[in-house]
């Protein structure tokens, strides 16, 4: 993407428009290097988002942004229901509430090394992974309703984890306003046997090493120390979320004309927030958020059981659990006044600043933990919400490295066996049901996560706390 097309606000902020049908400008946070490498479609999609009714302030893209369905992945936009604002299924995405959670182990690499191979094998056996993979849990209709209404709190009540976990999950593990009755029969059937599973694509469970601390005080508050082993889980709402996205995108596209909406493209199908369809989608989407929170809670419990067998007495307390691919009701200051908004974050992480009441104690003074997944070979990051000269992009930050090439191109360039071998030579054990999936997720298929995080840090979206290096990777 040519930087000359933008007004350069500072080293990491680029503004375009508004022009044509745009109601607000498009703003990209990125270094010049990252901006130049971005697909032109990112700007085209941002401009389309900026033309939607009721949008507030700007259509934003994070440093990891790349082309997506409707919204760019790494896209953030907020809508005011009092100004005809809309909710867009494409602005949330298909993998609703895909997210990341990190657990502390207290173990060192020296303690882990003698059982690393065995740990990798047992985690791979204990946690189902892969496209369409079924778990050991089967829910009837009543249990599905309870899960979609209760989220991680439901999972804990079923014996999956500890009540203390809930305080360290967004929305205390259960988002209000879920409407299981707004979820189709097809979506329910797809999820009936998928609880406690990782899925495929970029989803994973990793055992990681904290190999660098950038902010000693915040790391201490988060319970992170250099040389400590942690466990990070990345997965979402599986078939349920995907089907909800599919169902409502079709319905929103058919109903657009009836609602007086002129869509710049079909993929931006949406509905007014105050319409019956908009409210119904929000209810179904919230049910999917709760499904994802419950799913990660169960996967974490399965991982804890493996660690407990190998390290009796170990607890694995939760650092935090964050969600991507959501639309949430939040209050933000816009133009000097507080507004009640619906914030879409597609492939972006909520990053509330220090002191925000939604952050649990004792973390509140330090800002919300922001967990950034990298590729299998490049490492991940823990960041924290920050406030430089005001909260930016509705308190949002990056969610990962962001793809540099498509999955199809990755399959053309890489072989799964070769990727596994190269990572093993670097001390990273990979266990996967699909070598094709490994090739699609090869480290070189992603942007440089360190460059993405540096841009987010410099832009004031979130601040660097600690870098995590992968030791074991479990993938679908």
pLDDT of residue 202: 87
pLDDT digits (tens, 9 = 90+) for 411-439: 999 999 999 999 999 999 999 988 988 99
* 399 annotated active-site: yes
Mean pLDDT computed over every residue of the chain: 95
Average pLDDT over residues 9-15: 97
Q: 314: number of CA atoms within 13 Å, CB side?
A: 24
Give 129's pLDDT tier (boundaries 50, 70, 90). confident
**Using CA atoms, how far apart are residues 147 and 161, in angstroms rounded to an integer?**
15
Q: Which of 324, 399, 457, 467 is catalytic?
A: 399
Q: What is the pLDDT of residue 19?
A: 96
State what percent of residues in the chain have pLDDT above 90. 89
The number of beta carbons lying within 10 Å of the beta carbon of residue 139 is 17
Confidence of residue 374 (pLDDT cuts 50, 70, 90): confident
SS3 287: helix
Q: What is the pTM of this model?
A: 0.96
Model confidence pLDDT, tens digit, residues 71-98: 999 999 999 999 999 999 999 999 999 9
Smallest CA-to-CA distance from 205 within 279, 263, 122 is with 122
DSSP 424-475: HHTT-EEEES-HHHHHHT-GGGB--HHHHHHHHHHHTSEEEEEEEEEEEEEE
What are the residue ranges of helices labelled H in 369-428? Answer: 407-413, 416-425
Residue with tokens 């793809």: 403
* pLDDT at position 128: 87
User: Which residues is 320 bridged to in the sheet?
Assistant: 102
> Tokens representing 379?
């490492």
CATH of domain 3-404+446-475: 3.90.1860.10
Least confident of 6-15, 205-214, 340-349, 373-382: 373-382
Q: Please check whether residue 467 is in contact with residue 379, taking contact to mean a CB–CB distance below 8 angstroms.
A: yes
- Residue appearing with tokens 């266990």: 431
The CA radius of gyration of the chain, in Å to the nearest whole number, is 21
Beta bridge partners of 231: 103, 207
Torsion angle, alpha carbons of 288, 71, 66, 347, to 10 = -30
Q: How far is Cα 323 from Cα 333, in angstroms, rounded to an integer?
A: 22
**How far is the first Cα of the chain from the last one, in angstroms, to the nearest whole number?**
33
């Amino acid at each position: 993407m040519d930087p000359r097309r933008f007004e350069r606000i500072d080293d990491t902020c680029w503004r375009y428009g508004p022009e044509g049908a745009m109601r607000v400008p498009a703003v990209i946070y990125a270094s010049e290097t990252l901006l130049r490498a971005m697909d032109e479609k990112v700007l085209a999609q941002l401009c389309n988002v900026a033309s939607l009714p009721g949008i507030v302030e700007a259509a934003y893209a994070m440093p990891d942004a790349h082309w997506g369905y409707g919204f760019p992945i790494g896209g953030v936009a907020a809508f005011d229901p009092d100004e005809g604002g809309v909710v867009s299924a494409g602005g949330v995405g298909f993998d609703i509430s895909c997210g990341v959670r990190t657990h502390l182990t207290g173990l060192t690499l020296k303690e882990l090394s003698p059982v690393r191979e065995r740990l990798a094998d047992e985690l791979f056996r204990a946690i189902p992974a892969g496209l369409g993979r079924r778990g050991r849990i089967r829910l009837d209709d009543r249990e599905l309703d309870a899960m979609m209404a209760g989220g991680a709190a439901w999972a804990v009540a079923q014996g999956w984890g500890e009540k203390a976990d809930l305080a360290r999950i967004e929305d205390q593990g259960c988002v209000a306003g879920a409407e299981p009755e707004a979820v189709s029969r097809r979506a329910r059937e797809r999820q009936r046997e998928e609880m406690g599973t990782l899925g495929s694509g970029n989803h994973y469970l990793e055992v990681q090493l904290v190999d660098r601390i950038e902010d000693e005080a915040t790391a201490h508050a988060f319970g992170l120390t250099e040389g400590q082993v942690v466990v990070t889980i990345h997965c979402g709402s599986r078939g349920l979320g995907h089907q909800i996205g599919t169902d409502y995108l079709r319905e929103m596209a058919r109903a657009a004309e009836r609602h007086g909406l002129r869509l710049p493209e079909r993929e931006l199908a949406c509905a007014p927030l105050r319409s019956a369809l908009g409210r119904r989608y929000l209810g179904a989407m919230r049910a999917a958020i709760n499904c994802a929170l419950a799913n990660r809670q169960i996967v974490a419990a399965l991982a804890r059981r493996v660690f407990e067998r190998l390290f009796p007495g170990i607890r694995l307390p939760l650092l935090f659990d964050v969600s991507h691919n959501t639309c949430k009701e939040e209050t933000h200051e816009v133009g000097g006044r507080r507004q009640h908004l619906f914030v879409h974050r597609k492939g972006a992480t909520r990053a509330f600043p220090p002191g925000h009441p939604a952050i649990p104690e004792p973390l509140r003074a330090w800002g919300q933990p922001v967990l950034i997944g990298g590729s299998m070979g490049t490492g991940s990051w823990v960041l924290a919400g920050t406030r430089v000269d005001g909260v930016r992009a509705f308190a949002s930050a990056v969610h990962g490295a962001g793809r540099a090439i498509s999955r199809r191109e990755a399959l053309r360039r890489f072989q799964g066996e070769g990727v596994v071998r190269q990572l093993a030579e670097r001390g990273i054990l990979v266990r996967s049901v699909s070598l094709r999936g490994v090739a699609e997720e090869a480290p070189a298929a992603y942007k440089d996560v360190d460059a993405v995080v540096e841009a987010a840090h410099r832009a004031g979206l979130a601040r660097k706390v600690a870098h995590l290096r992968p030791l074991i990777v479990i993938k679908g």
